[in-house]
Amino acid sequence: MRLLLLTIGTFSLSLTVLARTASLETRQSGSTITVNLDQKYQTIDGFGCSEAFQRAVQISKLSEEQQQYTFDLLFSTTKGAGLSILRNGIGSSPDMSSDHMVSIQPKSPGGPSSPPNYVWDGSDNKQLWVSQEAVKRGVKTIYANAWSAPGYMKTNNNDANGGTLCGVTGASCSSGDWRQAYADYLVQYIKYYLDANVTITHLGFVNEPDLTTSYASMRMSGSQAADFIKVLGPTLEKANLSSVGINCCDTEGWSSQAGMLGQLNSVDNFISTITAHSYTSSPGSPMNTRHRVWQTEAADLNGQWQGGWYSNGGAGDGMTWANNIYTALVNANASGYLYWIGAQTGSTNSKLVRIDGDNVTASKRLWAFGQWSRFVRPGAIRVGVQGAASGIRTAAFQNIDGSVAVQFINSGGSATNVQVEVNGASGFNSSTAAAYVTDNSHDISDLTMSLNGGTATVSVPGRAMVTVVLK
């Protein structure tokens, strides 16, 4: 049981909610939202996170019960956020000291043409295990992303501190051209996962190529990335892995990636997905590309841990992230949106779920992601909406199963009644409907609504996100 407070004129009415489909008579006309299924935008690939840099190892140190609870929080579509994309880090380091991701070829084989000397530990910094647990819960999109090539393949002979892949334009090395060896290395990584019955669907060969860091990093311009893709694409095809999509290039910001697109024209046919982060610039407008675009890393990296939905609109608030995702999907036509880390230890907001000893705590950022991911499933298409209520951001999506998910984010402090009608698609007629709410008091909780003659009516609480699902 819970109480729902509806504000009607100057009166308040408390209702005991018995079930999500319980009938609630419309007390005020509210705003009418019309969903147009014939007005189609981008296809949605999903929402996700990473457990790279040994964050997966941190999960493995929990008790079995808490491990499973953590995976349910992240990936379950009934108990958690239902995230549908997992981003793994392809290791480049010679060992696992600190939080380094160990390479599948820690030592140079002697040169780019020498027979490789791969080493597979069956763990991949515990990421294989996380992938298997995600797959058990329905995840089908695994994005394997290298931060750098191994150091011996680079101009600085170090997998950290920048440097560039030997052999691309402007990066000659006395050891030779390592482009083919690096492509083979990435293909072998994919094969190791296939042997463990995990299918990697997307492959990235560089992360934040516009930034030099003290950890694994590799500099690349768009032209240099294209030089490598010309080798990687045919290598995947030769290995019968052409179904694996090449992602490029996970720049530090959205605008940086947009500025790189022109340099990738020569390899456009090899590219599957354009990828960018949100640190130096966030998604605000569509990129000029025919490819799907993902925002693959964003987080409140430095804010002290706080798990709330709304306090003052700060960078760690759950509602802030609900709005960030809205902007990316609706204003920038993004097809995917990923937070940096799913679960880890520590006292900042860099993750969605906090591990403290054997305690696991979900933040409202997780539930913000879940409010999108649970109901906008992979393959959904964003469709048109008209008549949005004042102060309420509205978006709609039609899933592969035909269901329609309508999202509302109310930035105001008062509840607002909305009515939802669906047009198009050969006379879509809603026969069932349900509504769910996340706010300071609820985590994707059932919300009372009514359905009369195909029109759904719901009250969207102040400073809350509500999803209406029509079937």
DSSP string, 12-77: EEEEE---TT-----SS--EEEEEEEEEEEEEP-EEEEE-TTTHHHHHHTS-HHHHHHHHHHHH-T
The helix or strand, by DSSP H or E, that contains position 460, with its residue range, turns out to be strand 455-460
What are φ and ψ of residue 87, in 5° steps? -105, 115
Average of per-residue pLDDT across 72-80: 98
pLDDT at 14 over 50: no
pLDDT at 465 over 50: yes
Mean pLDDT for the chain overall: 93
User: What are 361's two structure tokens?
Assistant: 């705590």
Whole-angstrom Cα distance, residue 270 to residue 179?
A: 16
Mean pLDDT value of segment 263-285: 98
What pLDDT shows up at residue 29? 54
Question: For residue 5, what pLDDT is reported?
Answer: 28
The string of pLDDT tens digits covering residues 128-142 is 999 999 999 999 999
Helix (H, G, I), strand (E, B) or coil at 105: coil
Region 325-352: mean pLDDT is: 98
CA-to-CA distance for 125 and 98, rounded, in angstroms?
12
The predicted model gives 406-431 an average pLDDT of 93
Per-residue model confidence as pLDDT tens digits over 363-383: 999 999 999 999 999 999 999
Asked if residue 70 lies in contact with residue 343, where contact means CB atoms within 8 angstroms, the answer is: yes
| Residue 149, CB-side half-sphere exposure with 13 Å CA sphere | 29
Lowest mean pLDDT among 141-145, 373-377, 427-431: 427-431
pLDDT digits (tens, 9 = 90+) for 231-245: 999 999 999 999 999
Which of the four pLDDT bands, split at 50, 70 and 90, describes residue 427? confident
In 3D space, the residue among 297, 261, 303, 305 whose CA is nearest the CA of residue 281 turns out to be 297
Average of pLDDT values for 266-282? 98
Rounded to whole angstroms, what are the CA distances from 325 to 46, 244, 373? Answer: 11, 26, 11
Q: How confident is the model at residue 118 (pLDDT cuts 50, 70, 90)?
A: very high
27 pLDDT exceeds 50? no
Going by C-alpha positions, the residue among 215, 231, 216 that lies closest to residue 145 is: 216
23 pLDDT tier (thresholds 50, 70, 90): very low
Instruction: Determine the pLDDT at residue 41.
Output: 98
The proportion of the chain whose per-residue pLDDT surpasses 70, expressed as a percent, equals 94
Mean pLDDT, rounded, for 141-147: 99
Local confidence band at 12 (pLDDT 50, 70, 90 cut-offs): very low
What's the pLDDT tens digit per position in 177-194? 999 999 999 999 999 999
At residue 34, does pLDDT exceed 80? yes
State the pLDDT at residue 18.
Answer: 30
Residue 338: HSE in the Cβ half-sphere, 13 Å Cα cutoff: 26
> Is the pLDDT score of 90 beyond 70?
yes
pLDDT of residue 93: 98
- Is there a contact between 143 and 130 (Cβ–Cβ < 8 Å)? no
Span 109-122, average pLDDT:
98
Average pLDDT value for residue range 204-224: 98
Please tell me the distance from the alpha carbon of residue 200 to that of residue 143, in angstroms, as a whole number: 6
Token pair of 395, please? 């978006």
